[in-house]
Amino acid sequence: MKTYTPPPDKSITIRALLLAAMAGGSARIENPLLCADTEATIRCLEALGIRLCRDGNAYIVEGRGLKGFRVPGAALDAGESGALARLLPGILAGQDFPSVVTGSGSLLNRPMEPLAAALKKIGAAVKTSNGRLPLSIKPASLKGAKISGIESAQIKSALLLAGLNARGPLEIKESAPTRDHTERLLALMGAKIITAGARIKLEPGPLTARPLTVPGDISSAAPFIAAAVLAGRPLKIISCGLNPARLGFIKALQKMGAVIKIRAVEAFPEPYGEIEVSVSRLRAAVIRAPEIPAMIDEVPLLALMAARAHGTTVIGGIEGLRTKESDRIESTLALLAALRVTASYKGGSMRVIGRPAFAAAEPVETFNDHRIAMAAAAAALVCPGLEIRNPGCVNKSYPGFWKDFRKVFNPSFS
């Protein structure tokens, strides 16, 4: 059985860097991810006066407290990182200087009005550019509030970061629980935060720097899980983050008949451990909307797995995928069409008719979307001759993806 260690978690790395910058003292972040999105995070923090230095496989972040940031000399460029573009305004909303957050590529087309509307509920002075980036933020006196109906982990996180500088408690009720890395890191750094299911309560106040080791990224491991199941090759994944709010893809595969075992270590702030994938046969299943937040990054992979399952799989509640790095509904359908798989989308749900084998009908267009490229790699492992265009777009989250994929699976494609 092959063994694979995924790269560090992107979501946790970005949040750890931002929160360490807001804390008092020096924080050592072990095993951070180095990719385009985290490099953009570091550049933005340096522009705000934060000192970061590399020490072996760690970053040391010299925090400046909640309101100790320096006035940036220009707009803060989030690159193509949706997480950074949404979390950073949460920090900036409570500062005593104006600022602008912008980005590049597909991020410039992603909606920012929901973020601005949420921050305005606690008194932030935030303005979008026709609903998109750049985002202008002016100094404002933030207040506590009770906010319900939050559907995005990134918007929730922005509210929590802003809430640290508010004049009263912040209470958030999510429509359904989303990934809770921000809440866990806030608790690690001494914030007065209480979570109960989809409800969160945060008292304003300072953070204290704490050391942190970033676990492996389960979203980066997911294409390897998919490839192992598709190719019938047993695989053990080690040192992988196992946050319960990120296990949706594995649970969906188990529902479809995949034999996958999880061995978790309940560490604070994030559980981690091993995932063992065995040879499996898949059957169709119905994946409902409440299951999607726990696998929001893995829906293209799930559709790919459905394409090899016996029967017709329905994946519901995925309308939010329209505004990712690509329109992931259309790019996923294009991937399946390139494999001669019959699939359709209507009314928020995708229907995928499984077939016993893939056939390379045409090259796969990645649409500059790292998740589509990694799903295509899993498909290519069992579909000789499949061409993947712009495979380098994986650098957004996983620069070493192709090297690791070749090492684990020794595919026939180059």
- Burial (CB < 10 A; 0-12, 13-18, 19+), residue 410, is exposed
Hey, is 181 helix, strand or coil? helix
Count of CB atoms situated within 10 Å of the CB of 322: 13
In the structure, what pLDDT confidence band is assigned to residue 414 with cuts at 50, 70 and 90?
Answer: low
In the structure, what pLDDT confidence band is assigned to residue 186 with cuts at 50, 70 and 90?
Answer: very high
| DSSP state at residue 283 | B
Q: Which whole number is the average pLDDT over 393-405?
A: 97
As a whole number of angstroms, the distance between CA 214 and CA 328 comes to 28
- Is residue 268 within 8 Å of 190, Cβ to Cβ? no
Residue-wise pLDDT tens digits, 25-36:
999 999 999 999
- Is residue 243 within 8 Å of 219, Cβ to Cβ? no
Q: For Cα atoms 143, 144, 146, give the angle at the middle one, nearest 5 degrees.
A: 135
In the structure, what pLDDT confidence band is assigned to residue 266 with cuts at 50, 70 and 90?
Answer: confident
Residue-wise pLDDT tens digits, 109-160:
999 999 999 999 999 999 999 999 999 999 999 999 999 999 999 999 999 9
Q: Which residues are catalytic?
A: 297
As beta bridge partners, residue 63 has 25
pLDDT at 362: 92
pLDDT at 192: 98
As a whole number of angstroms, the distance between CA 165 and CA 38 comes to 24
Residue 179 has, within 13 A of its CA and on its CB side, a CA count of 30
pLDDT at 252: 99
Residue 111 has, within 13 A of its CA and on its CB side, a CA count of 12
pLDDT at 412: 80
Domains for the chain: give ranges and CATH numbers.
Answer: 10-213 (3.65.10.10), 218-409 (3.65.10.10)
| DSSP state at residue 208 | B
As a whole number of angstroms, the distance between CA 379 and CA 365 comes to 13
As a whole number of angstroms, the distance between CA 211 and CA 60 comes to 9
Looking at the predicted structure, is the pLDDT value of residue 413 above 80?
Answer: no
Percentage of the chain with pLDDT > 70?
A: 100
Extract the runs of DSSP E, i.e. beta strands, from 268-402. 272-277, 286-287, 312-315, 343-346, 349-353, 364-365, 388-389
Looking at the predicted structure, is the pLDDT value of residue 299 above 70?
Answer: yes
Residue-wise pLDDT tens digits, 318-373:
999 999 999 999 999 999 999 999 999 999 999 999 999 999 989 999 999 999 99
- Reading the block at residue 278, the tokens are 């065995």
- What are phi and psi for residue 287, nearest 5 degrees? -105, 120
Residue-wise pLDDT tens digits, 53-99:
999 999 999 999 999 999 999 999 999 999 999 999 999 999 999 99
- What are phi and psi for residue 12, nearest 5 degrees? -70, -40
Give the residue from 34, 21, 107, 102 showing the smallest Cα distance to 68: 21
As a whole number of angstroms, the distance between CA 192 and CA 361 comes to 55
As a whole number of angstroms, the distance between CA 377 and CA 398 comes to 13
